[in-house]
Chain A
């Protein structure tokens, strides 16, 4: 049963520190998404990549957030410097683009981030 994996699962840090979250998409999936979930805003799309190239990062605060895909099996989301308002659950999801309709996205377990 292929699944998206994320590390760390929980992270507590102090304001101003750098935070790096990692995601391993399902093998063969060529599209990777980063979503953020908070009580107030719900689930929001931050950025996504297709074939490792960024397609849309309009939902991401550019001054402190950055997302990359160093290779097809690893996506990273970095916050530097972190702020208390960044506290949220960050989900990675992966999906495919192919010759048939394949819109389904599969979510990872999330990284629960608390910035003090």
Chain B
């Protein structure tokens, strides 16, 4: 089955700086890679996703890159703000076009220092 490794487990950055979280996956068949943000005591919420036919995707201050050859993908957050503080999870799955069971990384606790 799929295995997803996520690094770092904790990341502390100054407000306004950039943050990068990296994930690797094991199953070359995986073709869908979402990122979820989870605030303390809340549900995970999708912030961005990417499919394997795309190398990069951007949504305002958030971007995701995918390297299929190396089997790794990364989340980039620019101009970090206090509200970006949360735990971020990457995930991977082979999807036939619909929702399928995700394999998650262990999460990264992002701390934005004022």
Binding site for B on A (CB under 8 A): 29, 31, 33, 35, 42-45, 48, 50, 55-56, 59, 91, 93-98, 100-110
Contacts and interface: CB of A to CB of B under 8 A. Distances in A.
Given A103-B34, A107-B45, A95 B99 contact: yes
Interface residues of B, number: 25
A107 B101 contact: no
B47 to A, nearest CB: 11
B98 A102 contact: yes
| Main SS class of interface, A | strand
Contacts of A95: 98-99
A49 B17 CA distance: 42
Given A42-B105, A43-B89, A104 B99 contact: yes
B57 to A, nearest CB: 13
B43 interface: yes
